[in-house]
Amino acid sequence: MKKLFVLNAILTSFMMVFMIAPMVRADTVTVNRVSGYYSGSGGEFTLFPSAGLQWVLGSYVEGVTKNIVVGAAPNFQSFCIETDEYVNVPGGPYNVVLNNSAEAGGSGGPSPDPISKGTAWLYHEFQLGTFQGYDYTQGPPGSGTRNVSAGKLQEAIWYLEDEITTIGSNPFIDLVTSSSVFGSLSAAKADNNGTYPVAVLNLYDDQGGFHQDQLVCVPVPEPATMLLLGSGLVGLAGFVRRKFRK
């Protein structure tokens, strides 16, 4: 019975990791920025993933947070999480590794540096295309539309990641600290640990040099996929149980 209990615990843990923890995999992206979608040195960045990474696009909204560059290869909108690493714009293809942390760590925090719950929540809300207080209307540089919202959200992300230590008036930091989701800045800065389905695209060049890491939403597996996985695990459990009884 004890062996069976341990097996069930392992299977349960595996299921949870499969559902919420980003998978480690290597692929490439090219990076660009579109006028009216960014302000200053931060996001929004427009990322063009290679074919093996395009499975992430299912999390984004057509024409709002993905494929804003019409007639081009599939693309989605992202934000960077570091202030001391850079990308060429346009630039790439960059090699990427997808996981829960910025592997080089950036200006603040440990190395590797897990993304915060606040950052993951903000980006997850953004990619839904209905984020409270975010103006999704494209505007020319300097206008009070999407590029202004993008600059403020980028600043909030850097602050939550300890890439910058001071911040002025920012509606997204106000939203995080006043929200019932967090209620405090310290709670928002805690490690995400898979709480929200957001991961980090760690970018490298062909020589292994670090570049500015980007955020990405990771689709939660569909119920049918989880049912198939569950069936396989149940079969595995039965096989191991019979082995234990011998």
Q: How many domains does the chain have?
A: 2
89 and 11 part of one domain? no
Spatial neighbors of 54 by CB under 8 A, at least 6 apart, are 74
Q: Could you tell me if 6 and 35 lie in one domain?
A: no
pLDDT at 77: 98
| 12 and 118, same domain (yes or no) | no
Examine the domain organization and report whether 103 and 200 are in the same domain: yes
Query: Residue 9 — left, alpha, or beta (φ > 0 → left; ψ -120 to 50 → alpha)?
Result: alpha
Provide the pLDDT for residue 219.
86
Residues 172 and 68 in one domain: yes
* pLDDT for res 43: 83
- Do residues 118 and 101 both lie within one domain? yes
* pLDDT score of 26: 64
Q: 93 φ, ψ to 5°?
A: -75, 140
The pLDDT, as a whole number, for residue 151 is 93
4/114 same-domain check: no
Report CA dihedral (184, 188, 190, 192) to the nearest 10 degrees: 150
In the 8-state DSSP scheme, what is residue 66? B
Give yes or no for a contact between 127 and 59, defined as CB atoms under 8 angstroms apart. yes
CB atoms within 10 A of CB 86: 14
> What per-residue confidence (pLDDT) applies to 140?
66
pLDDT value, residue 111: 78
Do 169 and 240 share a domain, yes or no? Answer: no
At 65-85, the pLDDT tens digits run 999 999 999 999 999 999 888
Range of the domain at 90: 24-217
One domain, residues 153 and 187: yes
Which residues in the chain show pLDDT less than 50?
1-24, 222-244
3-class DSSP assignment, residue 199: strand
Asked if 193 and 106 sit in the same domain, the reply is: yes
60 and 33, same structural domain?
Answer: yes
Question: Is residue 75 located within the same domain as residue 95?
Answer: yes
